Amino acid sequence: MTEGFKARGWFEGGRYDIIDDQCGVKDLLRVTQHAGRKPYSSILDWGVYFPFLAQCVRLKKFEYLQVSDAVLQSVRLKSAIKQSAENTLRERAELEDGTGDGLHSTGQNEDFQKVYEKEEKRAVQILMGMRSKLSDFLLRVTSWLLYKLLPRFLSGVVTNTKQIDMLKATAEKSDGVPLIFLPLHRSHLDYIIVSFILLNNDIRSPIVVAGDNLQIPIFGFLLRGLGAFFIKRKIDPVVGKKDILYRAVLQTYTQHILEAGHNLEFFVEGGRTRTGKPCMPKSGILSVIVNAFMDGTIKDALLVPVSVNYERLVDGHFVTEQMGQRKKAETLSSAISGIWKALNSKYGLMRIDFNQPFSIKELVQTYNEIAAVEGTKIYTPASRAMHHIQSSSSLYGTDVVNEDQRTLVESIARQVVYDCVSATSVMTTNAIAFLLLTRFRNGATEERLAKELDALRKRLCGRKDLAFSGESIQIVRYASNLLGKDLVSRTKEGDAIVIKPNVQLPHVIELTYYGNGLAPYFVLQSIVVTALHIFSQKEDKRITRKRLKEHCINHCDILRYEFILSKPTQNLDQLLDEAIDVLREEDIVILPENKSYNEMEMHSRRIASYVENTMWDDDDDANVYNEMTEEVIRLASDKKEEIDAYIAILAPYGFTYLVVVNLLVELIGNSTLESDFIKTCIKELTRQIECGECPYSESVSMDSIKNCLKLLEKWEVLEVSSTHGLRLLALEPAYESLSGIEGLIEKFESYVCRAESEC
C-alpha cells in the first residue's frame, strides 16, 4: 500500500486516502516523497509539520552545466560566422555591380574583418537571448510555490506510479544518454508541469524549448531560470533566405546541451492544439537530435512521449482563432490577468502519462530492417570519432542536412505523436462532450447519458486509460457542471434532468475541443462506417471487403493532416481489418450469413490481408484470401443510433473540406491571399450553418481549412507561393477550369455524409 490521494475529479471528496498498487496513481499535489507524516517519521522531524517546504529542500540536487562558452568556441559556429560574413559581402557586391563579382578574395577583402566581427557579435547576441539558465535554487522555490498555488485551481495533478518508477530506473541506467521528453502541447502550464513532476521524483529537470513569444518581462526571466531556452517561431526573417547564423547557433547549442548530459523537453507539435486533437508534428528540433546521433555527436538518446490532459483547459479556449481571428500576442498584462483568472476558477483534474522511452538507436535499426525488406534507404550513423568533421551544408541545422534523413525524422515524429495519443488518459469532460456531440446533440436525460457512459467505459476498458472512477451518474453531473452553462445546459423536465449540448456557434467549438479527446481512438471505425453508409445509399448496395478498404484508404489519405492513423511501422490495411472486426464484435457490421470468427480466425484473416500482394503457393490459402476479400459487408439495420454516432465523428470535417473545394472556382484565372481565402471559407460555412445546409456548426474550423489547403497543395491542385511573407494561392494548370474543379468536388462528395438524425 502507498500513501496517496483520490482527486475530487474521482468523486471521493477532497480527502487523503490510501490507494493500492492496483490503482497505481498518485496526486502529486498531496503526496510528498521526502517529507510528511510517515510510519517511520520522528516527532522531531520538522518535515512532518512543514511537508511541502521540507520536500523542496530535500530534493536530489543535480548539477546543471552551462554550455555557452563551448558553443562560442565550436568549429561549427565559427564556420557559420565566416560563411554568413561571406554571404553578406556577396549580397553587398551584387547590389553594387549587379553580378556579385565584386567579391574576389574574401580573405583579402578589407571589409571582411569588419563584417566578420559584426556577425560574431550577432552570434553572441543570439546565444545570450536563446540560452537557458537552469537554476537548482529557482526550481526548488518554484516547486514550493506550485504546491501552494496549483490546488487553488486544480483538484489534482495525477501521475501513474509505475510510469514514474520506470522513468527513475531508465534515468539511473541511462549512462549519460539524455532523456528527451516530448509532451503533447495543450497549455502554457505544460512548460513547467513536467519539470515539476520530474524534480519531485528526483529525476533531472530538462532544458525546455520555448517560443520567444513567451520572453516577456518577469515571466521570461522565470522561465529561463526554470530551464527554458527561447527560439524564434519564425527562424528565417526573409522567406526563401536561410538565416545560416541563427540556425547554426540553435543546432550547436542543442547538441552541446545533449553532449553535456542535460535532459531536453520540447513540444513536437510546435504549438498548442487549437482543436483538442494533436497537431501534425514539426521536425525542427527533433531533426537536430537525430542529426546529432547520425553524425556521432551523441551515442544515443531516449525519447519519452508524454501525454498531458486537462478536465478543463487552464488557458481558456481558442474559439476566436478557429473562427478566423488573429491570435493575441502574449504580454505581461495578459499573463497576469490569465494567472489571476486561473487562481479564481476551478479546472478539475490534470493527468500526465509518461510512455515507455525508446532509443533512437534501436528505432533506426528497426526502420533499417523494414527498409532492407522494402529495398529503400538504409540509415547509417557515423562513427563518434568523426563527429567533429562538419560539412558546410550542416550549417543549415534544423533543415536536417541530409535529405535522406528527412523521412527518418518525420517517421520518428509521427510515431511519437501516435504513441502520445494512444496513451492519453480520457478525462470526464472528454467522455461527456464526445457522447453529447456524437449521440445526443438534441439532449438526453442524466440517466440515459449515464447508461451510455457505462457502455463507453466498457468499450474502452483495457484499451484506453480512464482518469476517473465512480458511478456514471455522478460523473455525468460532475463533468456537465465543470464544462459550464455556456457549453452544456441542465434543465428539469418533469422528474428528469435533461442535459443538452450547445451546438451553436461559437460555444460548440469549445465543446468540440473536449470531445476531440476521444475522436482519434474511434476514427478508423468512423471511416469504415461512413463508407458503408455511403455505399448503402447507392443502387448497388453490395460492397466487398476489398472494395471497402480501398475506399477507406482513400478517405484516410484525405484526412492525412487531421489524424495520424498509424505508426510508420504499422500496416494501414491491417488496421482497417481490425477496425472492421471491432465493428463486427459490436454487431454494427454484418458479415455474410451472420458469419462470425473467433479470435484465432480473425488473426489469420488479418495476416492474409497483410500479405495481399504476396504470391500464394498453397491453393487453400488462396481460397481463404479470396473468400475474405470478396465477402460482402453491410451495416446492421437495427443499430441506427450507433451508426449515426460513428458518422458524426468525421462528418464535420467532410463539410469543411467540401466548402473549401467548392470555393476553388474563385481561383480560376487569378490568385488570392491564403488569409483572404480562409475568411471566405469561414463566411460560407457560417452561411450554410445558418441556412441549415450544414448541420454541424463545429465545421467552422480554421485548422481544418488550413489542413485541406495543405492536402490540395500536396495533391498538386494548389500552387502556394510566398511574397513579402504573405502566402498566395493559385490553381495548378490542370485545375484551371470548371471541369477540373467539378471532378475534384465529385471526389470529395463521395466521402461526405451526415448522420440520419441530422437529416
Q: What is the pLDDT of residues 327-341, one digit of tens each?
A: 877 788 888 888 888
Residue 149 has pLDDT above 90, yes or no: yes
* pLDDT tens by residue, 87-131: 888 888 777 766 555 554 544 456 788 899 999 999 999 999 999
**Is 256 within 8 Å of 71 (Cβ atoms)?**
yes
Q: Does the domain spanning 428-517 belong to CATH 2.60.40? A: no
Of 358, 374, 274, 369, nearest in space to 316 by CA: 274
Q: Strand 589-590 and strand 672-673: pairing?
A: unpaired
* pLDDT tens by residue, 19-56: 334 468 899 998 888 888 777 778 888 888 899 999 99
If pLDDT is split at 50, 70 and 90, which confidence band does 195 have?
very high
Kindly report which listed range (259-263, 628-632, 717-721) carries the lowest average pLDDT score: 628-632
The type of residue at 609 is S
Instruction: Look up the pTM and report it.
Output: 0.88
- Residue 674 grid coordinates: 491564403
Residues of the chain with CATH 1.10.10.10: 648-758
If pLDDT is split at 50, 70 and 90, which confidence band does 379 have?
low
Residue 480 has pLDDT above 90, yes or no: yes
Q: How far apart, in whole angstroms, are the C-alpha atoms of residue 534 and residue 752? A: 8
Kindly report which listed range (81-85, 170-174, 626-630) carries the lowest average pLDDT score: 626-630
CATH number of 648-758: 1.10.10.10
Kindly report which listed range (21-35, 162-176, 474-488, 628-642) carries the lowest average pLDDT score: 21-35
* pLDDT tens by residue, 576-627: 999 999 999 999 999 875 455 555 555 555 555 544 444 444 444 444 445 4
Mean pLDDT of the chain: 85
* pLDDT tens by residue, 644-700: 999 999 999 999 999 999 999 999 999 999 999 999 999 999 999 999 999 999 999
Of 188, 219, 191, 187, nearest in space to 205 by CA: 191
If pLDDT is split at 50, 70 and 90, which confidence band does 755 have?
confident
Residues of the chain with CATH 3.40.1130: 138-423
Q: Does the domain spanning 138-423 belong to CATH 3.40.50? A: no
Share of the chain above pLDDT 70, in %: 85
Residue 329: the pLDDT is 77
Residue 301 has pLDDT above 80, yes or no: yes
Q: Which segment, 85-94, 191-200, 390-399, 405-414, is predicted with the most confidence on average? A: 191-200
Collapsing DSSP to helix, strand or coil, 668 comes out as: coil
Residue 502 has pLDDT above 60, yes or no: yes
State phi, psi for 716 to the nearest 5 degrees. Answer: 60, 35
